[in-house]
Amino acid sequence: MSNPTKENIADWFKGLQDSICERLEILDGKSGFVEDQWERSEGGGGRTRTIKDGDLIEKGGVNFSAVFGPTPSKILEALKLEKSDFFATGVSIVLHPKNPWVPIIHMNVRYFEMDTGTWWFGGGIDLTPHIVVTERARMFHKSLKEVCDKHNESYYKDFKRWADDYFYLGHRKETRGVGGIFFDRLTEKEQITKLDRWEFVKEVGLSFVPIYTDAVAKLRDKEWSEEDKLWQGLRRGRYVEFNLVHDKGTKFGLDTDGRTESILVSMPPHAQWHYDFRPENQTHHKTQSLLKKGIDWINY
């Protein structure tokens, strides 16, 4: 097999969006995706697909985009790149479930290339339970490790730590959820070719639906209390804080005049803030205590 071109990658991502949306509609069983196609005046565009008021998913988005043109100066500065045209494509997903027992999930696969020849892949999958069910966190990490181990034995360890560091709310001194894997600027290195990186990124994309299906199984039908619903609202508040204060993708998107509605499709349907809330419910209290870096979920 030869190295993929940027067109190959964008086409494959587009197909991934199709297949994920199709399978998520089946999983949800009630609601369907609505598509908005959009164009970017400087070059390229995307397909934003949103779903709401489903049996499983209260609000979610599965975005595909492939954009190109002169690299915005803010990106050149932040990434310390020379002035040149760029091409960026990716699939990005955030699903907010109705049931507080079901975790929020986020997945992203992306490719970036400059006319100068510089290129890299990025992405990851991470889980944000409103209520941590430790056995499920273990299963989730085990699946990610399997995906990683097929490609490189250091990937899981490295990308798990990267996720712990990335999905961290410094101002709350807590992680966003139970983490997962995160990677960025993966390029050629020693024995690892561009094709190797691409095969790995494809595997991450393809693993999303089975991993999410496992993560929601049974939990989606679990009964919840008013207290759980409030806790979900407060945890969603933290999700908003992470995305608006810390998330680099969101910040770049908003800074560089990206399509706001597509970027903020990650926002939850509702969020709540109470002053200095301290959970009395034991399950919620335990969740709070597990929002920290460095937990070895596989052996938890």
- Provide the binding-site residues for a second copy, judged by CB under 8 A: 36, 48, 50, 52, 59, 61, 170-172, 233, 237, 240-241, 244-245, 251, 254, 257, 260-261, 263-265, 267-276
CA atoms of 120 and 147, how far apart (whole Å):
19
Q: Which is nearer to a second copy, 60 or 180 (CB)?
A: 60
The crossing angle, in degrees rounded to 10, of helices 134-149 and 155-166 is 130
Reduced to 3 states, what is the DSSP secondary structure of residue 223?
coil
- Distance in Å, CB of 240 to a second copy, minimum: 6
Regarding beta strands 34-39 and 85-97, do their DSSP bridges make them parallel or antiparallel, or are they unpaired?
unpaired
Which one-letter DSSP state was computed for residue 298? G
- Distance in Å, CB of 251 to a second copy, minimum: 8
Q: Which is nearer to a second copy, 129 or 268 (CB)?
A: 268
Count how many residues are written for the chain.
300
Q: Which is nearer to a second copy, 272 or 283 (CB)?
A: 272
Q: Do 4 and 198 contact (CB within 8 A), yes or no?
A: yes
The yes-or-no answer on residue 285 being catalytic is no
From 96, 106, 130, 141, active-site residue: 106
Q: For the CA atoms of the chain, what is the radius of gyration?
A: 19
Q: Which residue has the tokens 């790995």?
A: 200
- Distance in Å, CB of 96 to a second copy, minimum: 9
Q: Which is nearer to a second copy, 264 or 298 (CB)?
A: 264
- Distance in Å, CB of 32 to a second copy, minimum: 14
Active site residues: 106
